[in-house]
Structure formats: C-alpha cells, structure tokens
Amino acid sequence: MKPARPLVAALATLLSLQGCGRKQPEPSHDLSFENVREPDTSGLSKGRPLINTVEAYRGGSGVLRVRGRVSFPDGVRIQVSIYPQGSKQLVNRLQVIVQDHRFESPPIIGPQGPLPRATYRIEYLALFNDAWQGEAVMRRIDGGRDLRGPGITRDRVGGAAFYLVEERAL
C-alpha cells in the first residue's frame, strides 16, 4: 500500500503541470446586445396625436376642471400634473379615466383654494403596465406595443409609456 502513495502524488503533480505554459484563448471584444425587445424606438412618436383637444373651464365657484378628447381606448388611466409656469412647485396631481375617447377631471384646487388664472405647465403621463392600467386594458391595447403618436416612448424596462407636456392659460 505504501508504494501507491508516491505514485498518486507523482500523477497529481504531472496533471497539474500539464496546463502550464499553454496559451489561453483571447477574450472576445465583439460588442453585442441581448434581450432587446424594441430594436428601434424612433418611430414610436410618429402618428396622429393621442391628445386631440383639451379644454379648461371654471365652475361657478371658480374651481377649475379640465376635459379633453383623446385617441386612447376606454379605460386608459392618464395622470395630469399641474405646475405654475416656470416653477417646479406642484399645485395638483390627479388621474382621469378615458371613457368614449374623452376624459374629464374632478374639480382642481390648489393649496389655497381655486387656482388663480395664470399660465400653467401641464404634464400628461400614462404608463402601460398591468399595475397602472389593469390587465383588461392591457389586453385591449396589446400591452401598449401598438400605441404610436406624439408622446409615446418606452419606460426603463421597455414598456410603453405616454408623456406629454404643454403650457396652457387656465
């Protein structure tokens, strides 16, 4: 049994030396991308406008409301954020649901009551995922992949998103 130990040690040494001195293959420097679902997003914003008309009006108490006609299907949720022109101070944020290609906001008030007449920056945002729109809406719009027009883009994970900014006297 003792003569086998030196033989095993010599065999292990021989095997470990076998790889020494061999040239390792050079790593590939080819640049490639994997899992790209949308190879070209430049055409997403081409097409008919998705927000066709927007009208701001005031009720008897001076409370502002906004309504509009859109090319989104029924059930789409759009977030509307309102900022005074030239400011980053949010005065109100609300969500509207599209019905018959139209939306109408609830009464919009600011921290001190009805918004004063002025020019405001309005941001329209819609994310097209199950959490934002719900599964039924997402099935109706094929996950947002078919949406095209001004404001359509991709979010950070490749999903469809709508973002449009305008300045408007309210």
Report pLDDT for 9.
64
In a domain, 39, yes or no: no
In a domain, 33, yes or no: no
Report pLDDT for 155.
83
Report pLDDT for 47.
81
The rounded mean pLDDT for the chain is: 82
Give the contacts of 80 (CB within 8 A, at least 6 positions apart): 66, 93, 94, 95, 96, 105, 122, 123, 124
Provide, rounded to the nearest whole percent, the portion of the chain with pLDDT above 70: 75
Distances (CA, A) of 107 to 65, 76, 121: 5, 20, 18
Q: What is the pLDDT of residues 94-126, one digit of tens each?
A: 999 999 999 999 999 888 889 999 999 999 999
In a domain, 37, yes or no: no
In a domain, 158, yes or no: yes
In a domain, 20, yes or no: no
In a domain, 122, yes or no: yes
Q: How many domains does the chain have?
A: 1
36 has a pLDDT exceeding 60: no
Distances (CA, A) of 71 to 35, 47, 53: 31, 11, 10
- Yes or no: say if 77 and 133 are a contact pair by the CB < 8 Å rule: yes
At 131, which CATH number? 2.60.40
In a domain, 131, yes or no: yes
Higher pLDDT, 4 or 35: 4
Higher pLDDT, 57 or 46: 57
Q: How far is CA 20 from the centre of its chain?
A: 52
Domain of residue 86: give its range. 51-169
In a domain, 26, yes or no: no
Report pLDDT for 110.
85
Q: What is the pLDDT of residues 50-95, one digit of tens each?
A: 899 999 899 888 899 999 999 998 999 999 999 999 999 999 999 9
